[in-house]
Amino acid sequence: MFDFVYRLYRHADSCILYILMSYSLYILCGARHAAVKTWQYLLAGTAIFLCINCGLGFAVQKLFSNSPYWICIFSLGLSLLLCSRLFLQTSLLYRGTYILFSLTFIQLYKIVCSPLYELEFSMDARTYALIDFFTGLLFYALLILLCALFQKVRLNKKLSFVPEKYLLVLYFPLSILFCTMLTANNTSLWLKFAPILAAIIMTNLPIIYYFFTTIIDSYEKQRDLNNALQQTKAQLSHYRYAILLQDEIRKERHELRNNYFYIQTLLSEKKYDALDAYMQNVIGSKLSSIGQVQTGNTLMDYILNEKIREAQKKKIKLCTEILIPANLRLSEDSLCTILLNLLDNAIEASLDEANPDIRVMIRCNQGYLTVQIKNKISFDVLAKNPKLISTKENKTQHGFGIQIIQNTVREQNGILNLASDDGYFSATVMLPCEFS
């Protein structure tokens, strides 16, 4: 049975390679016509490949009395280019790049297996067949992984010309492919392949270094851009909050004028009971809701006051103890991200409590800004749910609060501690800070 399978593998090896590469191109490029089915494209391509391979092999064999291995590689490349031109979209450069890298990968794998091929006639035939068969299966698996990489990290389909950097990238696969095809059927050249390969790699080192420095430079520029974007977001938040404050001041000014005339009317009519009730119910509630928290940080004030209002609407008691200097130097975006998610988690956890209570403490101590938010609990949350996984039905859209906090704290080289004691769940964050 194995002998039959092995003979089938030896005869179908080239066709299997073509089908794998052709299908990968189909996924990457897409069909030119929707009416053409995948199996029709693969069947037509395989027929074209066999015709080209057999035709070239017969012609070369007539001229040189043997058919060199490079005929198969050349037939693969030519048939893939032809079929992709007939059936697939995208430019020649886009398709040709994938074909070139795939063919180079095939040639390099054959070089890796070359010691095995040299032992074909000195090794036991069945042992050689087993090793050759399983190395072939490994090769197919590696080629599939390479195609998966192509699908995951794709070229820009708008590429329609050959820029200078693109030529540098193509130099490596082209040089390897040309060298291996040139030496494949020449024993004297093949014995000298090691120094030839070393020369190719040596000439590629400056190119690799060039692209390495380009990648590092791009990474640094992207990081600077992200920092600039974060600062811009913080400034926009300041502007939004300033606009809200202006609107609130305008409304309060209008209401204050009305309140003044109403109080004056009650006094002139000597309705003191109505005036007392009005002062307690209307004016008192307004005074208690104005300027609840003033830290000196505009964005932090906005978040805290908004969350205090939200907690009050939901009948949740919220106490604050905040003592931070005005000249605190810390990533405002990171601090507000942590604060916002901690408060959201505490408010959400308090909705199911009989006597909800949230305590917020923010202070500076020994070079650290400490943010501690505690919410009352009726059971040990960490004992029941140590990873704090969301219990909501749609977990794909919820449960990211703790993860966001952990990532932000890690980025700022801070410390996060979660604890459950004395009937409260507490989340404590310590962030290194400086004073300007």
Domain boundary among 157, 191, 225: 191
45 lies in a domain? yes
209 lies in a domain? no
Residue for token pair 């405002």: 332
Confidence check: pLDDT of 395 > 50: no
Please indicate, yes or no, whether residues 299 and 157 belong to a single structural domain of this protein. no
12 lies in a domain? yes
**What is the distance between the alpha carbons of residues 325 and 377, in angstroms, rounded to a whole number?**
32
Lowest mean pLDDT among 42-46, 54-58, 407-411: 54-58
Please indicate, yes or no, whether residues 433 and 296 belong to a single structural domain of this protein. yes
Q: Where residue 401 sits, what CATH number does that domain have? A: 3.30.565.10
**What is the distance between the alpha carbons of residues 66 and 46, in angstroms, rounded to a whole number?**
23
79 lies in a domain? yes
Q: 54-63 pLDDT, tens per residue?
A: 887 777 666 6
Please indicate, yes or no, whether residues 330 and 187 belong to a single structural domain of this protein. no
Lowest mean pLDDT among 39-48, 72-81, 197-206, 224-233: 224-233
Domain boundary among 191, 214, 237: 191
Please indicate, yes or no, whether residues 186 and 312 belong to a single structural domain of this protein. no
Q: How many domains does the chain have?
A: 2
Please indicate, yes or no, whether residues 170 and 313 belong to a single structural domain of this protein. no
122 lies in a domain? yes
227 lies in a domain? no
Domain hosting 111: range is: 2-191
Q: What is this structure's pTM?
A: 0.50
For the segment 268-293, the average pLDDT, to the nearest whole number, is 66
Q: What's the mean per-residue pLDDT of the chain?
A: 77
Q: 233-269 pLDDT, tens per residue?
A: 655 566 666 666 667 667 767 777 777 777 777 778 7
What percent of the chain has pLDDT above 90?
4
For the segment 335-351, the average pLDDT, to the nearest whole number, is 86
Q: 364-383 pLDDT, tens per residue?
A: 888 888 999 999 888 887 77
Please indicate, yes or no, whether residues 15 and 134 belong to a single structural domain of this protein. yes
Domain boundary among 191, 211, 231: 191
**What is the distance between the alpha carbons of residues 99 and 76, in angstroms, rounded to a whole number?**
9
Confidence check: pLDDT of 294 > 60: yes
275 lies in a domain? no
- The answer to whether 56 and 180 have CB atoms below 8 angstroms apart is no
**What is the distance between the alpha carbons of residues 418 and 420, in angstroms, rounded to a whole number?**
7
105 lies in a domain? yes
